[in-house]
Structure 1
Amino acid sequence: MSLSGSREFVNLCQAQLALLAQSFDLVSCAVYLTEQWVEGINPKLVPVVVYPEGATAKPVPNPSRTPQKTQPQTPLSHPLLPPAGVFLSELAHPGPPQSTALTKSSIASPLSEEQQIVLPLLHNNEVLGVLVTRREEEGWSETELSQLEKVAQTLAIACFLDRQSRGVHEQLDQRLRSMGEQTDRLDDLLHQIRNPMTALRTFSKLLLKRFLPEDRNYKIAESIVRESDRLQDLLQGLEQYAEDLETQLTPTPKLLPAESSRPLSLLPGARLELAPVEILDILEPLLLSASAIAQEKNLQWFTHLPPHLPPILANGKALREVFSNLLDNALKYTLTGGVALEAGLTEITPQGTYQGVALHDTGLGIPPADQGQIFQRHYRGVQAQGSIPGTGLGLAIVKELLDQMQGKIEIMSPRQPNPNLGLLPPSPTQPGTSVILWLPLFNSAPFQHD
């Protein structure tokens, strides 16, 4: 917590010091706050407000030490105030060397041709700071000292309330940040649930088409479709709840900075562990679901998979989520035409050798204005105005997981023409998108020991 105090507290101090200076003809005055009080440790003083503004702080001799004789000095044009970092005991009333506490109204020895009054800001037996005042040789009356003490008491109470208020706000900000992190995890989990849920609905509908109405299994398949539709509705309700909750948590600046190292919702509380992974083992079950969805949507579906591929360094669960999100996007935003997946690409870089998997579609494409922001959470760009539902989390999750797996992603829209894929060439209405994932080979030297 900052020791300088809030703007309101500083304004109060400025007003009080200006009033004191005018009422008592002061040469200078200042308010200092102590560092966090710890029993047995002599805290330092930090200046908060100095009057007049721009006054130069000068060292104050420690009254607890033997005073040294000094030659008469010419009156100074600037006030003599304690410097930043002076210890609290150095402003105490002269006394035994072991005494470091300030009395209720300790008065330090005169310095130069001025008289200094140092009053502690005391509240609940805690020294929160000091009020320092100086003026010419004229002495202080009991009435003036009493008024100074009342000002010190007022500033002490204000300082205490200010610290309490800032403490509460810091706790509130911390709670909001924590709730923001939990909301992000909830968003990720809901998004990750959606893909297998979509696959189940698709399989159940395809299964229903295989039975005649008089078949005894028809009712069972029909029930599966009905319940999967119900689960889909519940999932949409949860997503809406998460969106409303996030809206309530955003009266302050972004609660979770982009560079935050929060654990991914895929594996809460831990970073991804990397190991050799056979990429075809991850792809094959996902491609089965994707081809069924393409069939239901009357889309063409092409795959180009070499029979043998070297293992990559990755996390199997995370890689499954990456491909699942990319396949879901390709199928969701492709209204006509088709989708093609090819594996076995290779890229050699100074950092190591990468294996590539490319996914191409004939869909709506990604406008150039959106391409620089598509990895931001909840960013949907032009698609936010369309009729296709989405949360804007798929590519953000992909990027987060790939970063942890030391992988890379390239997105090209419009899609580059390639007659070998089996897809129609890009057109103005169907520019399509190509996404290429690059993952390090397991035996690539820079990665194999990570």
Structure 2
Amino acid sequence: MFTPTSSEFMALCREQVCFLTRGLGAASSVVYLSDRPFDGEAGKFVPVAIEPETGTHWSEHREAIELPQGKHHSLEAALLLPASLDRALSTDDFDRPDEERRVWLEGYQIVRPLTHEEAILGFLVTRRQDRPWIDREREQIEGVARTLALACILDRRAQWWKDSYGQQQQLHDRQRDLFDNLLHQLRNPLSALKIFGKLLLKRLKPGDTSQNFVQNILRESEHIQELLQQFDRVMDESPAGRLLPGEVREIATVVTPAEEPISLPAAGDRVESIALASILEPAIASARAIADDRQLQLYDRVPLDLPLVRANPLALREVVDNLIDNALKYTPAGGCICIEAGMEAGTEDAPFSTRSLLLAISDTGLGIPPEDLEHLFERRYRGVQAQGDIPGTGLGLAIVQNSLTQMGGSIEVFSPPRHPWPNPNFPASLSRGTTFVVRLPVSQA
């Protein structure tokens, strides 16, 4: 595969072949570069600069060529110019017998390989037909070849360093995203731990010796939360952290395979048949305690006879925790939250490979503006909530979508709420609130 060259190197090549024409009277010159410049093999050669540069010549002769067999000194007698140039330069000399034509070419054509540490980078071909080259001119052409070889090495090294930097930057970004994911996921259980500690402290009678232990738990929880906030500040102050979504770094373009979504460790591993209720029951129990503390009504409708789903238990738990946490966070006091699960309508009798189980989490909270819906699953996107007082990172829903995609599931969002099944706890005409619908593949086991 031919390695792209910089515009600066291309300009240098053009200037050098123009010098051969204007300064030394060359009738035609071509610079070829190898498609395998650093592996010690000659490979094929692609023309990158040609003089005279006419549209016909350039467009018809960009195909790669191979060196003829033999040592370098035999190249002088090879027909290495594009065929159209050979025809344009043909004289009676080309009608001579092969041996006489070879002698003529060796006098009128010069071929100089562009080499570095025994690797062939390319070669320079220049020819004229009115007179043979003299020694002084040959020395000048040698200088042009050395200049091109050195410039090619510097250009390829610069490109390699740019590509290497770009790859390192991509690796850094992926590590940063994973670190952000871990910090984000740590906040959910920490918030629950603080709320449970406060609820427990309220239930203890005055003078109970357990109060000191609970207060210590709360104090250390606050300390951990402060440390997490410091992490956020440090990351935001770094050059990478200050970049906003959509901003572009001025680095070399690196062509790499499509990257897999950033997810937590083991999020895509160990997909197995599990009961959705085993994930929902502890999550609902924790959410109910938090909802009571925040004066929210929480309803759940999770049938016990649901089929198993194919999912990763750890990843699915994070999906459920993130969605429930959002419902709790963005629903004001007096609101309602409903967690429902069931078969997708119309798939009950379908083949197992096409059956889906739905999980719907609805709330009567602030809702999502239409202009934010299409960007809701982008990393760090918070939309209108970024101007509000409710803290957030804009990572949770991106983590949810990536995890579900890796498990073969999907997610949809509706605002105002739209329920997969009739729901007596939510009026059909509700104009505020949100419903997230998770679709999971049913296990065939």
TM over 0.5: yes
**Over residues 180-233 of structure 1, what are the superposed CA-to-partner deviations in whole Å (9 max), with x where a residue is unaligned?**
111121121112111111111111111111224532221211111111111112
Aligned counterpart, 2:435: 434
Correspondence 1:267 to 2:269: no
What SS class does the counterpart of residue 77 from structure 2 fall into? coil
What SS class does the counterpart of residue 131 from structure 1 fall into? strand
Query: Compared with structure 1, are the counterparts of its residues 40 and 327 closer, same or farther at alpha carbon in structure 2 (3 Å cutoff)?
Result: closer
Query: Compared with structure 1, are the counterparts of its residues 259 and 321 closer, same or farther at alpha carbon in structure 2 (3 Å cutoff)?
Result: farther
CA contact (8 A) 2:415 2:434 kept: yes
Aligned counterpart, 1:179: 172
Question: How do residues 339-358 of structure 1 correspond to structure 2 at under 5 angstroms?
Answer: 339-349=337-347, 352-358=354-360
Question: How do residues 372-411 of structure 1 correspond to structure 2 at under 5 angstroms?
Answer: 372-411=374-413
Deviation of 1:421 (Å): 4.2
In structure 2, the gaps of 5 or more residues are 80-85, 92-104
CA contact (8 A) 2:410 2:439 kept: yes
Query: Compared with structure 1, are the counterparts of its residues 107 and 343 closer, same or farther at alpha carbon in structure 2 (3 Å cutoff)?
Result: closer
CA contact (8 A) 1:312 1:440 kept: yes
Aligned counterpart, 1:69: none
Letter of the 1:413 partner, please give it.
Answer: S
Aligned counterpart, 1:53: 53
Identity %: 39
The match for 1:85 among 64, 67, 71 is 64
Structure 2: distance between partners of 1:85 and 1:224? 72
CA contact (8 A) 2:301 2:340 kept: yes
CA contact (8 A) 2:380 2:394 kept: yes
The match for 1:192 among 171, 185, 198 is 185
CA contact (8 A) 1:102 1:120 kept: no
Structure 2: distance between partners of 1:126 and 1:345? 65
Aligned counterpart, 1:292: 289
Deviation of 1:286 (Å): 0.7
Correspondence 1:247 to 2:216: no
Letter of the 1:27 partner, please give it.
Answer: A
Correspondence 1:276 to 2:273: yes
Letter of the 1:247 partner, please give it.
Answer: G
CA contact (8 A) 1:3 1:33 kept: no
Aligned counterpart, 2:109: 116
Structure 1: distance between partners of 2:321 and 2:78? 78
Deviation of 1:84 (Å): 3.5
Query: Compared with structure 1, are the counterparts of its residues 305 and 120 closer, same or farther at alpha carbon in structure 2 (3 Å cutoff)?
Result: closer
What SS class does the counterpart of residue 125 from structure 2 fall into? strand
Structure 2: distance between partners of 1:440 and 1:36? 47
**Over residues 102-161 of structure 1, what are the superposed CA-to-partner deviations in whole Å (9 max), with x where a residue is unaligned?**
58xx63368733832111223334332111112222122222111111111111111111
Structure 2: distance between partners of 1:217 and 1:412? 45
Structure 2: distance between partners of 1:300 and 1:132? 83
Query: Compared with structure 1, are the counterparts of its residues 221 and 426 closer, same or farther at alpha carbon in structure 2 (3 Å cutoff)?
Result: farther
- Which deviates further from its counterpart, 188-197 or 46-55? 46-55
Deviation of 1:262 (Å): 5.0
Letter of the 2:435 partner, please give it.
Answer: S
Answer 1 or 2: which has greater helix percent: 2
Deviation of 1:248 (Å): 6.2
In structure 1, the gaps of 5 or more residues are 59-77, 91-96
Query: Compared with structure 1, are the counterparts of its residues 129 and 422 closer, same or farther at alpha carbon in structure 2 (3 Å cutoff)?
Result: same
Structure 1: distance between partners of 2:408 and 2:4? 44
- Which deviates further from its counterpart, 410-419 or 305-314? 410-419
CA contact (8 A) 1:340 1:421 kept: no
Q: RMSD between aligned alpha carbons?
A: 3.1
**Over residues 6-34 of structure 1, what are the superposed CA-to-partner deviations in whole Å (9 max), with x where a residue is unaligned?**
11100111122222211122222111112
Deviation of 1:238 (Å): 2.2
Structure 2: distance between partners of 1:256 and 1:3? 12
Aligned counterpart, 2:96: none
Structure 2: distance between partners of 1:42 and 1:222? 75
Letter of the 1:235 partner, please give it.
Answer: L
Query: Compared with structure 1, are the counterparts of its residues 310 and 43 closer, same or farther at alpha carbon in structure 2 (3 Å cutoff)?
Result: closer
Letter of the 2:264 partner, please give it.
Answer: S
Structure 2: distance between partners of 1:258 and 1:236? 35
Letter of the 2:434 partner, please give it.
Answer: T
CA contact (8 A) 1:180 1:255 kept: no
Structure 2: distance between partners of 1:415 and 1:39? 61
